[in-house]
A and B are shown apart, each in its own frame.
Chain A
Amino acid sequence: MNPGKILLVEDNPDDVALTLRALKSHNITNDVIVAQDGVEALAYLFGSGGTPPLEELPAVVLLDLKLPKVSGLEVLERIRGDDRTHLLPVVILTSSDEEQDLITGYKLGANSYVRKPVDFVEFTQAAKQLGLYWLLMNRAPPTPRRP
């Protein structure tokens, strides 16, 4: 079985570095594709301006909410609104646990909502569990055929 890829949508390079380290330190060796804002994330998923989308959909999208240009919630809305991606597992991974974000996130169809802990030990733990669960334990929906 070929475990899929992780699409990490995260604008903060520190968070990118920390997340990658957390994942790697637990031998989750899958490719992690990093999108630094919403526009880039959408380009990876749907392609834009001549750039084709990813060959294969990621196994999970780790989505930050506060992003420049196009926000995480907008990205989620686009993902759920498109036939190609509407079953794609999306985990919101963000700093806040504001009630309005939780409600909107789940309303728009997030599969999970994880708050990034400040404590790096806890953060590493969370990243490991996320990776293990979504890449190894969870069965992704069948990939829809590309038109």
Chain B
Amino acid sequence: MSRLRDWPIKRKITAILLLISGLVLLLTSAAFVAYEVVTNRQTIRIHLATRSRILAANSTAALAFANVADATELLDALKYDPHVVAAALYGQDGRVLATYPVGAAPDLIPAAPQADGYRFEGGRLVGFTPVAQGGNRRLGTLYIASDTKAVSDALRLSGVIAIVVLGIALLAAYALAAALQGRISEPILALAETATAVSTRQDYSVRAPKLGEDELGTLTDAFNQMLGRIEDQDRELRRHATDLEQRVEARTHELRERNETLRRNAAELLAANQELDAFAYSVSHDLRAPLRSIDGFSQILLEDYAAQLDEAGRDSLRRVRTASQRMATLIDDLLKLARVTRVEMRTEKVDLSAMAQDIIADLQRTDSARQVDVTIATGLEARADPPLVRVVLENLLRNSWKYTAKQPRPRVEFGSTEANGGRAFMVRDNGAGFDMKYMDKLFGVFQRLHSAAEFEGTGVGLATVRRIITRHGGRIWAEGAVDQGATFYFTL
């Protein structure tokens, strides 16, 4: 059997109503029955007492004379009362004078009279009444025993009435409860149904019907308002979700397109790189051969036909040779620049200080005639591709070395400095410097700020440097003034 708390509310209300009305009816019926019983017992006791007194008054003569026949006759009159079970008259000495019915069984008649009075004993009403003459002379005792059938009849009747009334009343109560419980249960059931609908279908647009202005009505109103707010929030949430979905969709689409573009660009870049590779290879092989012929045969002319040529002729041939060699250098530098772009980068920790020392030592060895005051800061490190970053340092330090040639006390410095919130490396010299006006030409290919007569060079070195720095994701810039030196800064 299901537990009481799991019962549906309808049944609970009906059960409570039935229980209360049942209890009330039961108590009322019990009171009614008890009242009936008590009243009946009192009535039969009064009747017995009355009858006993009348009989006692009539028995004085028979007792006074101990006349058994009279006494028996007197008692025999009791047969007209169907309820009297037994009776007896005791003499003054307490012995039985006469009995009713005559020769009654000894268990019906007590052997001796007991205390006066009327009482219920063993399902009977018994009474001992004094028989006296003149009010004070006791002649004997009258005993009458009556059954309590009247009481039990009354009890039965009132019981039956009570049960019938109880049954009808309970039926009526049930009918009423069944009819009236709806007043309470219906709004609650409607609320429960709405709540179920909301939670199973997630449909926040349903509303619970309001069935009155009582507390349940207030509850329904509050519930509906709550649903309204949830519905609004749900709608808002859905709108946001849809919005978000669309944005994700759009962003995904955009990303896909960008990826596609990137892939295409990468493919194009790869193709371009391969083309550049082939081009550089071809340049490297084929462009130098004719130069070698020009230089070689000019030299042969100078060696074998020097006598047939005048000084102007020999000078022309020397110029041809110089030009062809310069062309070869230009080609080599261009190839280096191209290589810097093509070569695969592998970054690792590089000791820039040691690298700079190495390069300066090289310069001092090959150009031992010059005395340059070189300062190199210690412990400068960076993550970079070692061969490429060496090209950078080599170009910058060589430039400083070269452009300080006309300085009486040449100075070259390699160090680092704070720049734009980060660390920048710097190569500084007190050499020829440059005009800041031409800053934008400094890093261009074949761009030179000095004539070849002043300082030699191809104009490819700084372009190469900038390309390497760019490939490292760094930045390079310079400061300088004519004849006051130059400082090159770079980040890696």
Q: Name A residues whose Cβ lies closer than 8 Å to a Cβ of B.
A: 12, 14-15, 18, 21, 65-66, 94-100, 116-121, 123
Contact = CB atoms under 8 A, between A and B. Distances in A.
B289 A15 contact: yes
Contacts of A12: 289, 293
Contacts of B429: none
Contact of A96 (B284, B295, B299): B284
Contacts of A121: 299
Interface of B: 280-281, 284-286, 288-289, 291-293, 295-300, 321, 324-325, 327-328, 339
Given A120-B299, A121-B299, A96 B292 contact: no
Contacts of B321: 119-120
A66 B292 contact: no
Given A119-B325, A120-B299, A121-B299, A15 B284 contact: no
Contacts of B285: 65-66, 94-96, 98
12 contacts: A14-B289, A14-B297, A66-B285, A95-B284, A96-B285, A96-B288, A98-B284, A99-B339, A100-B281, A119-B295, A120-B298, A120-B321
A66 B298 CA distance: 24
Contacts of B300: 21, 120
Contacts, number: 61
Nearest to B281: A98
Nearest to B327: A118
Contacts of B297: 14, 18
B295 A95 contact: no
Q: Which 8 A-B pairs have the closest CB atoms?
A: A118-B328, A96-B284, A120-B299, A14-B293, A120-B296, A18-B296, A95-B288, A66-B285
B256 to A, nearest CB: 37
B292 A98 contact: no
Given A95-B285, A96-B284, 19 more contacts: A12-B289, A14-B292, A14-B296, A15-B293, A18-B297, A66-B286, A95-B284, A95-B288, A96-B285, A96-B288, A97-B284, A98-B281, A100-B281, A116-B292, A118-B292, A118-B327, A118-B328, A120-B321, A121-B299
Contacts of B296: 14, 18, 120, 123
A133 to B, nearest CB: 21
Given A118-B328, A119-B325, A18 B293 contact: yes
A52 B410 CA distance: 67
Given A14-B297, A123-B296, A118 B291 contact: yes
Contact of B295 (A21, A97, A98, A120): A120
A118 B281 contact: no
A15 B325 CA distance: 16
A14 B324 CA distance: 15
A120 B292 contact: yes
A94 B281 CA distance: 12
Contacts of A97: 284
A121 B288 CA distance: 15
A12 B284 CA distance: 15
A98 B280 contact: yes
Nearest to A94: B285
Nearest to B280: A98
A127 to B, nearest CB: 11
B327 to A, nearest CB: 8
Contacts of B327: 118
A65 B324 CA distance: 22
Contact of A118 (B280, B286, B288): B288
A28 B328 CA distance: 28
A82 B280 CA distance: 33
Nearest to A22: B296
Given A12-B289, A14-B289, A118 B284 contact: no
